[in-house]
């Protein structure tokens, strides 16, 4: 059995999960990907910790608690659909989130805190997204334009409030595959929706 991996992420509110699940279900038959994400696994990753010792995991949580204690809740909205990988054979299909200074600031604070705790993090630029599917397996080339046209009747912007950061454990043999290990509430006044 593989060792567990951990990451910090922004979870989705239920109405966003329902919407994303509907988008996935609407897309599955015409757009074959190897794995579609379970509705309970939708999230925006802030920092991937990997396989770490219990001591390092405890240190990461202490550092994250310091970050969330000084961060107020904020609103976030979904955006366009996109891909990572080759245009005709993507490895990831995702739903984006609109640019958010509070989200970028939160991710930078989390990143800095984890580096201070001696974690080695991905150095690529932060590209916030919600993974919907992995690994194109279609017998013809994938077309993002075709997918966008197909989804046009149900595409909408979903707005939600980021109130917490979650520590997830990855359980690759299970569905859903991410288990909540801890929740860190953002401290501050609720934003106006």
Question: Would you please indicate which residues are annotated as catalytic (active-site) residues?
Answer: 43, 129
> How far apart are the C-alpha atoms of 135 and 55, rounded to whole Å?
34
Neighbours of 193 (CB within 10 A): 7
Measured CA to CA, the distance from residue 59 to residue 158 in angstroms comes to: 34
* Geometric angle at alpha carbon 44, from 77 and 23, rounded to 5°: 65
Residue where the block lists tokens 């994250």: 64
Of 156, 14, 149, 147, give the one whose Cα is nearest residue 77.
156
Sort residue 163 into left (φ over 0), alpha (ψ -120 to 50) or beta: alpha
- The rounded distance, in Å, linking the Cα atoms of 90 and 28 is 15
The pair of three-digit structure tokens given for residue 119, joined into one six-digit string: 């974690």
The 10 Å Cβ neighbour count of residue 144 is: 15
């Amino acid at each position: 059995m593989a060792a567990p991996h951990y990451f910090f992420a922004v979870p989705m509110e239920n109405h966003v999960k329902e919407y994303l699940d509907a988008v996935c279900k609407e897309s599955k038959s015409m757009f074959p990907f190897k794995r579609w994400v379970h509705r309970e696994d939708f999230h925006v990753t802030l920092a991937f910790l990997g396989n770490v010792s219990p001591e390092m995991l405890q240190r990461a949580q202490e550092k994250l608690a310091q970050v969330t204690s000084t961060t107020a809740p904020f609103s976030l909205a979904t955006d366009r659909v996109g891909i990572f990988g080759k245009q005709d054979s993507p490895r990831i299909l995702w739903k984006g989130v609109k640019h958010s200074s509070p989200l970028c600031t939160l991710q930078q604070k989390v990143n800095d805190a984890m580096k201070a705790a001696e974690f080695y993090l991905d150095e690529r630029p932060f590209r916030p997204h919600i993974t919907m599917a992995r690994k194109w397996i279609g017998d013809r080339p994938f077309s993002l334009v075709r997918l966008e046209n197909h989804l046009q009747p149900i595409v909408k912007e979903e707005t939600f409030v980021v109130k917490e950061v979650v520590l997830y454990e990855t359980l690759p043999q299970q569905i859903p595959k991410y288990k909540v290990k801890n929740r860190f509430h953002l401290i501050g006044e609720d934003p106006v929706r």
